[in-house]
Amino acid sequence: MPPSFSLSVAVIFLIKSLLLSSCYSIDEQGQALLKWKTSLNSSTDALKSWNFSDKSPCNWFGIHCNSNGEVVKINLKSVDLQGPLPSSFQLLRSLTTLILSSTNLTGTIPKEFGDYHELSFLDVSDNSLTGEIPVEICWLRKLTTLSLHTNFLEGEIPSDIGNMSSLVYFTLYDNQLTGEIPKSIGELRNLEVFRAGGNKNLNGELPREIGNCTNLEILGLAETSVSGGIPSTIGMLKRIQTIAAYTALLSGPIPEEIGNCSELQNLYLYQNLISGPIPRRVGELKRLKSLLLWQNTMVGTIPFEFGSCRDLTVIDLSENLLTGSIPTSFGGLFRLQELQLSVNQLSNTIPSELTNCTALTHLEVDNNEINGEIPDSIGNLKSLTLFFAWKNNLTGKIPESLSECENLQALDLSYNSLFGPIPKQIFSLQNLTKLLLLSNDLLGFIPPDIGNCTNLYRFRVNDNRLSGTVPLEIGKLRNLNFLDMSKNLFVGGIPPSISGCGNLEFLDLHSNGLTGSVPDSLPKSLQFVDISDNRLMGPLTPDIGSLTELTKLNLRKNQLSGRIPAEILSCNKLQLLDLGNNGFSGDIPKELGQIPALEISLNLSYNQFTGEIPSELSGLTKLGVLDLSHNKLTGNLNTLTTLLNLVSLNVSFNDFSGQLPNTPFFRKLPMSNLAGNQGLYISGEIATRSDNVRRAKSAMKLLMMILISASAILVLLAVYMLIRTCVGNSGSMEGDTWELTLYQKMEFSIDDIVSNLTSANVIDFGLARLVNNGDDCSKQTQSPKPFLAGSYGYMAPEHASMERITEKSDVYSFGVVLLEVLTGRHPLDPTLPGGAHLVQWVRDHLHSKGDPIEILDPKLRGRADPQMHEMIQTLAISFLCISTRTHDRPTMKDVVAMLKEIRHVDPVSSEKDLLKGGWPSDHPTPTPAQNVVYQGSSNYSFAFADDSSI
């Protein structure tokens, strides 16, 4: 063997010996730690002190040893380790504490953890651990803290959990655990904290054995599927401070034994299925601070005993079925900060004692049946920031003392019966951001003091009786985002100062009496504008193009004129445009077809547009509703064949001509939506649309001729009968027989008409004739057996009870004839629902708030608005005639006079007035007004309800 080779071997052996001696200079504890370190993928230098050259790991980062050099604690909390949990720490025989929370560890919990017998504190929370909890972990009898929360652990909680008899702190929340809570949990007599919430599939009932955990202070089962009732053994938890079992499936009543939990401070049981009454023994919980029971199905009254819980700061019982009054004992809760009783069935008044709770910041009693006035002492609540009392039966005036609640930020008193003016002092509240007073009976002016509310973000006073002008000072509200003053009596112009509301996105002023022109400078931030149903005049200026954020613009039913400016193309986010019922003229601008977002509705009806439909409109391929009716447009409809998304099209009453496009949409289009275009025709059909229009017009003429002829005949018949039966009389006749007053010349209310219709079963006997045996019409008694002549189905109700028959009975029969002509149905039409009489069918339809136009004969619908108006007026007259009370029916001369009074009026305003206040509603509710769309025209109303959720 060469000497050089021997030397090389010796050197290698020496180096290897040195390395081995260096590696094994660390003790076995360090070797176990280094072995785990090699399995980690961390790029951090946090463990750089873990060096194999050290004899002991006691000086390493995160390692703590006792005086004997034994590792007793490892704390690497919030260190980015990235790897598995250690499975080879058996050599760390004195290890009592292992904290590896928030370290980005993955994988499963090793079953070897069961070998770490000295562990008393184990925290591996807030990682990405998966798999099941190993049953071996239940062997750790010295363990006092086990934190496994905020991972992705699956499976069930081990049934042997009761073996960890020393366990004090046990957290499993925010995992993916399933199954039930083991009954063996009752063996953990030292347990103080048990939190398993956030495991959505943890199910089953809360075991009765939980009552054996007599040291329990916190019980957390929120956001689980734990179901069933709360066991009465809950009362054994004398030291419990917090019960948090919200958003679960708990049911049944809260046990009375809850009153034994004398240390209870927080009871969170909201969003469950808990039923029954609130236990009165809750009043025995003297340390109770927070009581959250909202969104359950609890019934009964709010216990008066609540007033004994003097530490209460938060009470939320909203969204239940509670009844009765708000307890006056609440006035003694001087620490109460939040009282939320919304969406129940509470009644009576807001107790004045409640204003003694001077620490109150939130008071929510909305959506109840509370009545009476808001107490004047409400101003005592200096800390109040939110007051919701909307949708109740409150009356009286808005108290001026509310202005003393200087911290008030949100006030919602909508949907009540409050009256009087809005106190100007309210507008001195500098912190007020939301003022919602819609749907009351408020009147008076909006004071200029509104300009002082510089933080106002949302202002809604729609559907009241407010009047005066829109104050100039509203332009000072720089933060205003939502302004709704619609459905009032405001007059004057829209103030140009509104341009100062630089953050305004929603502007609704519809259904007022506003005049003047559309302001040139509206806030450029606007997204929704509804100024419809006013009296605005003049042209729409090119400045409309500056509203580039606009999505919905409704200017319907004004007196605007001129051409639509081409600058409207700049409103490229516009989804809905309604310019109907104005006086716009000229061609339809091609720019409308170039607005890419226009996909909801385009309404140009009832204007004076001329020319052909611009070819650019074919680009509106997403448009759903198009109404071009009642203009002077010409040409054909071929441009519209590309609008494949249309669900409604109305081109009636123009001068369109040519063949109707042969597409499925046009073939299914109602004739009423094409009427009034005599040049349109359908290829291959003998009867054209023009023929149908002519026949419909003839039918209308025939209808009016029948009405006038029938009226004249019945008047002559009534006069003849009166003269014949009263001949020889001295002239002293009943006053109402010859009283020929007009029935206020058509100034009647449809409400009055319908209110005369009762729900009683009416037996209709037909057109009647009475023959008296006496001479004196005014004094002679009736024959015991009057002779009746008439047709079944037309006779007045009084025939059924053999009451006195007068000429008013003939008036009733004439009313039935009117209904027959208008509806096209015989009074005894067997096809009517339930075999009802024609009068009863019409009555039921209107009482259910049905559209009166739906009553008309289908052949008569869809006519021009003047004709529709005349038919509606005639329908109203028929209801006067068929009143069930004879003294409410007009005389025949009055009927003839009223028929003659029917004349053309403004169709839109008259129909709106008739339908808006006419057919009565048994249960008016503060819901958004539904759109009323007639077949002959498209009238769209946009009313958004405020959810009042701040």
Q: How many CB atoms lie within 10 A of CB 378?
A: 22
- Residue 798: what pLDDT? 74
Per-residue pLDDT tens digits for 213-237: 999 999 999 999 999 999 999 999 9
Residue 243, domain member (yes or no): yes
Report the first-to-last Cα separation within the chain, whole angstroms: 94
Alpha-helical runs (H) found in 548-688: 664-667
**Structure tokens, 285:** 């919980």
* Mean pLDDT, rounded, for 360-372: 97
* Weakest mean pLDDT among 73-87, 468-482, 517-531, 825-839: 825-839
Residue 86, domain member (yes or no): yes
CATH value at residue 109: 3.80.10.10
Q: How many CB atoms lie within 10 A of CB 707?
A: 21
* Weakest mean pLDDT among 537-546, 678-687, 696-705: 696-705
Q: Measured between alpha carbons, how far is 209 from 183 in angstroms, rounded to an integer? A: 6
Q: Measured between alpha carbons, how far is 135 from 157 in angstroms, rounded to an integer? A: 9
> Pick the residue with more confidence: 150 or 777?
150
- Residue 838: what pLDDT? 85
Strands 63-65 and 71-75: antiparallel
Q: How many CA atoms lie within 13 A of 657 on its CB side?
A: 6
Contacts of 391 (CB under 8 A, 6+ apart): 366, 367, 368, 414, 415, 416, 926
Residue 159, domain member (yes or no): yes
Q: How many CA atoms lie within 13 A of 575 on its CB side?
A: 6
* Weakest mean pLDDT among 395-404, 515-524, 851-860: 851-860
The answer to whether residue 531 scores a pLDDT higher than 90 is yes
DSSP secondary structure, 169-190, as one string: EEE--SS--EEE--GGGGG-TT
Are the C-beta atoms of residues 797 and 764 closer than 8 Å to each other? yes
* Maximal C-alpha separation, the chain: 168
Write out the residue range of the structural domain in which residue 102 sits: 50-276
Q: Which residues pair with 529 in a beta bridge?
A: 507, 553
Residue owning tokens 């809360």: 206
pLDDT above 70 as % of the chain: 79
Q: Measured between alpha carbons, how far is 38 from 33 in angstroms, rounded to an integer? A: 9
Residue 290 CA to its chain's centroid (Å): 29
Are the C-beta atoms of residues 822 and 839 closer than 8 Å to each other? no
Of 715, 773, 758, 734, nearest to 898 by C-alpha is 715
- Residue 425: what pLDDT? 95
Three-state SS letters, 838-893? HHHHHHHHHHCCCCHHHHCCHHHCCCCHHHHHHHHHHHHHHHHHCCCCHHHCCCHH
**Domain termination site, one of 276, 302, 327:** 276
* Mean pLDDT, rounded, for 690-712: 54
Q: Measured between alpha carbons, how far is 215 from 213 in angstroms, rounded to an integer? A: 6
- Residue 769: what pLDDT? 33
**Structure tokens, 94:** 């004195």
> Pick the residue with more confidence: 424 or 726?
424
What does the DSSP 8-state code read for residue 38? Answer: T
* Weakest mean pLDDT among 245-249, 385-389, 422-426, 712-716: 712-716
Q: How many folded domains does the chain comprise?
A: 2
Three-state SS letters, 774-823? CCCCCCCCCCCCCCCCCCCCCCCHHHCCCCCCCHHHHHHHHHHHHHHHHH
* Mean pLDDT, rounded, for 274-280: 96
- Residue 813: what pLDDT? 86
Q: Measured between alpha carbons, how far is 254 from 256 in angstroms, rounded to an integer? A: 7
* Mean pLDDT, rounded, for 174-180: 97
Q: Measured between alpha carbons, how far is 551 from 529 in angstroms, rounded to an integer? A: 9
**Domain termination site, one of 241, 259, 276:** 276
Residue 659, domain member (yes or no): no
Q: Measured between alpha carbons, how far is 790 from 766 in angstroms, rounded to an integer? A: 5
The one-letter amino acid code at 480 reads L
Per-residue pLDDT tens digits for 703-740: 565 555 555 555 545 544 554 444 434 333 333 322 22
Write out the H or E segment, with its range, that includes residue 701.
helix 689-725
pLDDT above 90 as % of the chain: 66
- Residue 703: what pLDDT? 57
- Residue 346: what pLDDT? 97
Residue 627, domain member (yes or no): no
Q: How many CB atoms lie within 10 A of CB 581?
A: 26
Q: At what angle do helices 865-881 and 892-901 cross, to 10 degrees?
A: 170
Q: Measured between alpha carbons, how far is 519 from 540 in angstroms, rounded to an integer? A: 9
The pTM is what?
0.70
- Residue 484: what pLDDT? 98
Q: What are phi and psi of 450, to 5 degrees?
A: -60, -25
The answer to whether residue 909 scores a pLDDT higher than 50 is no
* Weakest mean pLDDT among 306-315, 530-539, 758-767: 758-767
Residue 601, domain member (yes or no): no
> Pick the residue with more confidence: 382 or 797?
382
**Structure tokens, 319:** 């969204």
Residue 615 CA to its chain's centroid (Å): 40
Of 738, 865, 879, nearest to 814 by C-alpha is 879
The answer to whether residue 455 scores a pLDDT higher than 60 is yes
- Reported residue count of the chain is 950
| Radius of gyration of the CA atoms of the chain, in A | 41
Residue 289, domain member (yes or no): no
**Structure tokens, 301:** 């009254």
Of 359, 248, 264, nearest to 314 by C-alpha is 359
Per-residue pLDDT tens digits for 7-31: 454 444 444 444 434 445 799 999 9
Between the alpha carbon of residue 429 and those of residues 351, 388, 453, 501, 602, the distances in Å are: 24, 16, 6, 19, 42
Residue 157 CA to its chain's centroid (Å): 41
**Domain termination site, one of 237, 257, 276:** 276
- Residue 891: what pLDDT? 84
- Residue 219: what pLDDT? 98
Most confident range (mean pLDDT) of 41-45, 573-577, 680-684, 886-890 is 573-577
The answer to whether residue 638 scores a pLDDT higher than 50 is yes
CATH value at residue 821: 1.10.510.10
* Mean pLDDT, rounded, for 570-594: 96
Residue 486, domain member (yes or no): no
Contacts of 128 (CB under 8 A, 6+ apart): 104, 105, 106, 151, 152
Q: What are phi and psi of 570, to 5 degrees?
A: -70, -20
The mean predicted confidence, pLDDT, of the chain is 83
Q: Which SS3 state, helix, strand or coil, does residue 94 take?
A: coil
Of 184, 197, 153, 191, nearest to 169 by C-alpha is 191
